[in-house]
Amino acid sequence: MLEQVTATSGPNGNIDWLNCGINNGGWNPPFVKVSDIIAQYLPDAIKVNGSPFQACQKFVSTFEKYGQQFGVPSILLASFALQESSCNPNTVGGAGEQGLMQLTKDKCGDAPGGNCRDVDYNIRTGAKFFADTLNGNGGDLLKTIGEYNGWFVHMTYDDATAAGNGACCRCQNNLDYLHQFLNGWLQNIDAYDHTPRLGKYFNLDKCNSN
């Protein structure tokens, strides 16, 4: 039986373990490989009533194809898409990021017809970028997932939350991100709409009143 998901823990570890060092000297992520994590199987997860991945239903076969090609669980790729774009392929980010995986302009040069939102190209490019980054990090999954969200090794609490005092409150790093990703999305749980709330920092809450 899988460990129950709680506000601060789940099958892939406690938030204090995932965030090791954030409050004392800087983030020093434990070494975790893709093969170490517990995750649901996307084609099954999406069939569950109320699954957050139902928004990604049209793209499951593409996530599966490139997940297999690049050695990344398809639900991990879909989790990035769900978080980045709510699985809407027409999404354009505030800095011009494109499509499901919110690709930055530098990754769009080979897009078919210049359309970086092309679903196949977008997912393939996002999957390859993640896999290449993972390989570059020696298979260090937590470091790689963190980097996708702007984290960096030795990041402190003050580093992560500094932007909260400036003009771009949401430029902060979400300090509950790893727990929400690994013990939320990967378990077929909506990380943003779960009771109890997943996390303990909730440092982005202050941005809702700004």
Residues 26 and 42 in one domain: no
Give the domain-ending residue among 139, 165, 185: 139
Residues 155 and 130 in one domain: no
Dihedral-angle region of residue 26 (phi above 0 means left; psi in -120 to 50 means alpha; beta otherwise): left
pLDDT of residue 1: 38
What is the extent of the structural domain holding 152? 1-32+143-205
Q: What is the pLDDT of residues 75-133, one digit of tens each?
A: 999 999 998 899 999 999 888 999 999 999 999 999 999 999 999 999 999 999 999 99
Residues 11 and 56 in one domain: no
Residue 75 contacts residue 42 (beta carbons within 8 Å): yes
Nearest-Å Rg of the Cα atoms of the chain is 17
Which residues, including other chains, have CB under 8 Å from residue 162's CB and lie 6 or more apart?
Answer: 172
Residues 160 and 135 in one domain: no
Residues 123 and 185 in one domain: no
Residues 7 and 91 in one domain: no
Give the domain-ending residue among 96, 115, 139: 139
Which residues, including other chains, have CB under 8 Å from residue 47's CB and lie 6 or more apart?
Answer: none
Residues 44 and 87 in one domain: yes
- Is 178 inside a domain boundary? yes
- Is 68 inside a domain boundary? yes
Total domains present in the chain: 2
pTM of the predicted model as reported, rounded to 2 decimal places: 0.92
Q: Reduce the DSSP state of residue 92 to 3 states and report it.
A: strand
pLDDT of residue 148: 85
Residues 78 and 28 in one domain: no
- Is 120 inside a domain boundary? yes
- Is 112 inside a domain boundary? yes
Residues 130 and 157 in one domain: no
Give the domain-ending residue among 139, 165, 189: 139
Residues 18 and 94 in one domain: no
- Is 210 inside a domain boundary? no
Burial of 158 (0-12, 13-18, 19+ CB in 10 A): exposed
CA atoms within 13 A on the CB side of 104: 4
Residues 42 and 126 in one domain: yes
- Is 192 inside a domain boundary? yes
pLDDT of residue 2: 53
pLDDT of residue 3: 67
CATH number at residue 68: 1.10.530.10
Residues 109 and 197 in one domain: no
User: Along the chain (210 residues), what's the average pLDDT of each consecutive run of 10 residues?
Assistant: 83 98 96 97 96 96 98 96 94 91 94 97 97 97 93 97 91 95 96 94 86
How many angstroms separate the Cα of 32 from the Cα of each of 48, 49, 108, 160? Answer: 28, 31, 30, 22
pLDDT of residue 170: 85
What is the spatial distance between Cα 36 and Cα 47, in angstroms, rounded to a whole number?
A: 25
Which residues, including other chains, have CB under 8 Å from residue 1's CB and lie 6 or more apart?
Answer: none
What is the spatial distance between Cα 201 and Cα 162, in angstroms, rounded to a whole number?
A: 14
Residue 16 contacts residue 157 (beta carbons within 8 Å): no
Which residues, including other chains, have CB under 8 Å from residue 79's CB and lie 6 or more apart?
Answer: 181, 185, 186
- Is 181 inside a domain boundary? yes
Burial of 24 (0-12, 13-18, 19+ CB in 10 A): exposed
